[in-house]
Amino acid sequence: MRTALLIVLLFVSASAFSKTVLVIGDSISAGYGVELEDGWVNLLRERLQEKGDYEVINASISGNTTTMGVGRTPALLKKHQPDLVIIELGGNDGLQGHPLKVMERNLSEMVRLSQEAGAEVLLVGIQIPPNYGSRYTQEFFETFPRVAAHFDVPLVPFILERVATVDDLMQRDGVHPTAEAQPLLLENVWPHLEPLL
C-alpha cells in the first residue's frame, strides 16, 4: 500500500513540474517538405527535453491563415492548457493578399485568448517578397511588432532571418526552408523563447 502511494505521489510531483509548449503555425512550423523529425519544432522539443520536463505540442497546419488559426485557438487552449504559446502565422495571409487589418485582429485575438488562458506568448514574425508592393510589404512587416507591443509579448522579428536569401537553404518554391535550414530557424526563435521558459 505504501509503495503504491509513493508511486502515485512521485507521479503527481513529476507532473507538477512539467510545462506544455503549444505551437500554432503554418507550413513553416509544420515542416512542409522536410521529414517531421528535422523540423524546427521537433528540434525545439529535443532541446527542451534536455533542459527538463517539457511537452511540445505542434498544432501547425500547412496553408493556415490567421483566420484559420484564431478559429482553432480556443479548442487547442482548452485541450492542451499550455504554459506557453508560440504563434507563427501570417505568411499565408500576406501571400494571398488578405487585408492586414484582419490579420492584425486575428493575431491580437490569438494572443489575448492565450493570455487569458494563463499562458505566456511568443509571437513569431515573417516577411513577404517585395513584389507585393512596397506599401503592403512594409505594413505587413509592421503588423507583428505592433501586436507584440500592444500585448507586451516578445517577438521573433523574422523566423527566416539568414535563411530566406540563401538559395541552398530554401526549397525550389522559394517559400519553404530546407531541412538544413531548420536548426537556423530554431536559433532565430531561441533567444526570444528562452527567457519565457
pLDDT of amino acid 51:
86
pLDDT in tens, 24-39: 999 999 999 999 999 9
- Torsion sign across C-alpha atoms 19, 197, 28, 123: positive
Residues whose CB falls within 8 Å of the CB of residue 71, separated by 6 or more in sequence, listed in order? none
Residue 9 lies in a domain: no
Residue 5 lies in a domain: no
Q: Which CATH number belongs to the domain containing residue 128 in this structure?
A: 3.40.50.1110
Distance in angstroms (rounded) separating the CA atoms of residues 75 and 89: 17
Residue 165 lies in a domain: yes
Distance in angstroms (rounded) separating the CA atoms of residues 141 and 155: 12
Inform me whether the pLDDT recorded for 180 exceeds 70: yes
State how many domains the chain has: 1
Residue 107 lies in a domain: yes
pLDDT in tens, 157-171: 999 999 999 999 999
pLDDT in tens, 74-111: 999 999 999 999 999 999 999 999 999 999 999 999 99
Q: What are the catalytic residues?
A: 27, 173, 176
Residue 2 lies in a domain: no
Residue 141 lies in a domain: yes
Distance in angstroms (rounded) separating the CA atoms of residues 27 and 175: 10
Distance in angstroms (rounded) separating the CA atoms of residues 179 and 34: 6
Distance of CA 115 to the CA centre of its chain: 15
Residues whose CB falls within 8 Å of the CB of residue 132, separated by 6 or more in sequence, listed in order? 94, 97, 140
Q: Which domain holds residue 146?
A: 17-196
Residues whose CB falls within 8 Å of the CB of residue 120, separated by 6 or more in sequence, listed in order? 83, 84, 85, 153, 196
Longest dimension (CA), the chain: 71
Residue 1 lies in a domain: no
Residue 6 lies in a domain: no
